[in-house]
Structure 1
């Protein structure tokens, strides 16, 4: 249970309050530090899964915590970005991404209950979505940096790309689950 991949996942969860604290610091270095902390968390998201598979250290705890840590970090970052820039332009993709995460998490939980969890496994579209999402958030966190406002706007464009991929991957999951959701596949009494 206390293997390296699980410790990396727990580190990612532990970085959330540090990330929030640094986000609110009013200093020239704060946006770089917040982006760095988020980037480190994003890197551990990839690294913990890679190490778990490579070292054969997958565990039920890791399978549970990894997606939770990812969703928590992204949701917190999006809420902070919306709070800092509450324009509809920022709110819409954040709303889509957070709403999709809740919907797909509920779908996966329900599919697991009926014994069909494998039908809603992570897709390649979901992996592209995650990459676009992480890069966009890092760029948007750099909005007060010396790099200039173009970095923020590039991040916002990527956030829209992530939102479109988010909707696309949600449709893929819902289509895979539709036979179970519509009652076309019987899973026994409920």
Structure 2
């Protein structure tokens, strides 16, 4: 974006992952707990898409707030990596894994990127975008905009179109995050 910009940082097996958000206006009440609620949705067992990696994922606000209110300065949010085992990655250093961005990273950075766990291209980096999204969601709430989403199709199984209130009520009740209770049961089997 131009008004609300994000810069993610960190690597899957580096010390941390995080995001710097520039353009968040001063005066927005925000706490680590506000952001933590969204980050907790990524934890293993809350979704079939969640990582198997066991991380505490405790959000820390490093800058951009004072006394729980944004200052207008860039907001820096960070999560420390703790469950890191890089022992299996050295043997794959020069052998790109199918379905991963290993080759792309190698070509872009000339072999100098951190290849462990996918480095910058790991799903772990999505934690940074979830943190930024939590801040954006809080900001949008000030103008009565609510962000909702749910799974509409997996493997040819389609959810019936649901009303917003049904999505809000049902999306968190199953591992596939589908607001259609019947379709979600079939999707979970796949």
User: Is TM-score (shorter-chain normalized) higher than 0.5?
Assistant: no
Which protein has the bigger helix share?
1
Structure of larger gyration radius: 2
